[in-house]
Amino acid sequence: VAERVAHFKQDVWSIFTPLAAQLKAVNLGQGFMNFPPPDFVRKAAISAINTNDCNQYSHPKGRLRAREALAKSYSPLFDRTLDPETEVITSAGANEGLYAIFAGFLDDGDEVILIEPFFDQYIANITMNGGVPVYVPLRPHGDTNKIISSRDWKLDINELRSKITPKTKILVFNTPHNPVGKVFSREEMLEIAQVVQEFNLLLISDEVYDRLYYKPDVHERIATLPGLWDRTITVGSGGKTFGTTGWRVGWSIGPKHLIKTVLAAQTRIVFCVNSPLQEAIAISIEEAEAHGYYEENIALYEQRRDKLCKALSDAGLPYTIPQGSYFILANTKRINIPEDYEYPEILLNRPKDFKVCYWMAKEIGVVAIPPSEFYSEENRHLGEDYARFAFCKTDETLEAAAKALLKLK
Ligand code: GLN
């Protein structure tokens, strides 16, 4: 086995998703929807499959219709006219988009700054391409034994500065944030922008939850801040946007000189993205506004968020109210598990939160994700008293979770 893979531990998704099924627990773990995509989105997929050329290869930078739909819908959001030929590229999910970006820009030993907690896939995407992750945590302010807001999780900009070395090449930024649910404010982003410019960094902005933010917060795109367009690639997700995480269609938006490099790498990774579902995402984007989809979807998610918040309150677990995304971090410190409790073998050498999440799955019947997986070794302790619950689930599922969580009282 190659060294770059040999040290991988079993990923958290392939532990907890099967565990939920095995224990017949309510699954609020991995962030996928358990309700169908909207009708207009499913119809788009059917019509794409029935269109002859959609079943064959696409251009490696994406189907023209998808790039045009993305350019049209995102131009107003980026305050500029996006060129579908050079400034937009589709990817096999946002995940492969990120992989292609790292493959395109990292040389061996280049450092990439990650803000903790972070989506765990970043690490492997970086290290498999020769990069070295460097970490800086968001820190919760206020009393974490009470309900706080994701606004209270803050980045210390001086701590970020202290992590920069001559080898730092990329900063990965994520808003709305997984797993904290934080929607960074313009002021916070301006501070980051300053650092990125001062040290001549490439900024990767993971904005896969860009259509999910809750009043009074709005999602602002860091690429629109002065001086940042030329050094920023913004990554988006059809799966998060339309409830189709299994379709694996994502995209990246950025200036021509950066997208060109992503294309060079991507062509050699997947050659091209799934054609019919890319077309379906194109059609969905074209039609979304006329259906009032984005607003309606936010309203539905806001209700789901409030339902899960109430469930956690009723169960007596303090948590962070998310401003965006579909995750809630709950503080599990008050859960006491007997010392002699028995865990399956695969959890024995894992941090405390893996054990708490296992116990919760087995004894309470609700699956959540242990967020220490989203931290480096050195900062793992910062995540160990939390569990991440996803609310991209039906009302029925959320109600079943609420009922089960009451056993924690
Ligand atoms: N983004 C999803 C989450 O955080 C998981 C994606 C994956 O399983 N790789 O739940």
Are 262 and 334 within one domain?
no
Are 120 and 170 within one domain?
yes
Are 114 and 21 within one domain?
no
Mutating to test ligand 1, I would choose from 119, 247, 391 the residue with most ligand atoms within 8 A of its C-beta, which is 119
The CATH number of whichever domain residue 317 belongs to comes to 3.90.1150.10
Residue 367, CB half-sphere, CA atoms under 13 Å: how many?
22
CA of 13, closest atom in ligand 1 = 8
Are 22 and 134 within one domain?
no
Q: What is the mean pLDDT of residues 170-184?
A: 98
Q: What is the 187 CA–ligand 1 centroid distance (Å)?
A: 28
Task: Check: CB of residue 219 under 8 Å from CB of residue 207.
Answer: yes
Q: What is the pLDDT of residues 46-73, one digit of tens each?
A: 999 999 999 999 999 999 999 999 999 9
Q: What is the pLDDT of residues 8-24, one digit of tens each?
A: 989 999 999 999 999 99
Among 239, 266, 288, which residue terminates a domain? 288
Q: Which of 28, 127, 69, 140 is nearest to 288 (CA)?
A: 69
Are 203 and 227 within one domain?
yes
User: What is the DSSP pairing of strand 168-174 with strand 202-206?
Assistant: parallel
Are 263 and 391 within one domain?
no
The C-alpha angle 361, 333, 406, rounded to 5 degrees, equals 50
> Residue 27 sits in which domain range?
3-37+293-408
Are 328 and 387 within one domain?
yes
Exposed, middle or buried: residue 279 (CB in 10 Å: 0-12, 13-18, 19+)?
buried
Ligand 1 neighbours (beta carbon < 6 A): 13, 30-31, 119, 121, 178
Q: What is the pLDDT of residues 84-115, one digit of tens each?
A: 999 999 999 999 999 999 999 999 999 999 99
Tell the residue nearest (CA) to atom 1 of ligand 1: 31
Q: Does ipTM top 0.90?
A: yes
**Tokens in use for 295?**
């607003």
Residue 143 C-alpha from the chain's centroid: 26
The CATH number of whichever domain residue 176 belongs to comes to 3.40.640.10
**Tokens in use for 183?**
């929607």
Please count the structural domains in the chain.
Answer: 2
Dist. CA 366–CA 408, nearest whole Å: 11
CA of 95, closest atom in ligand 1 = 9
**Tokens in use for 320?**
């962070």
Among 239, 259, 288, which residue terminates a domain? 288
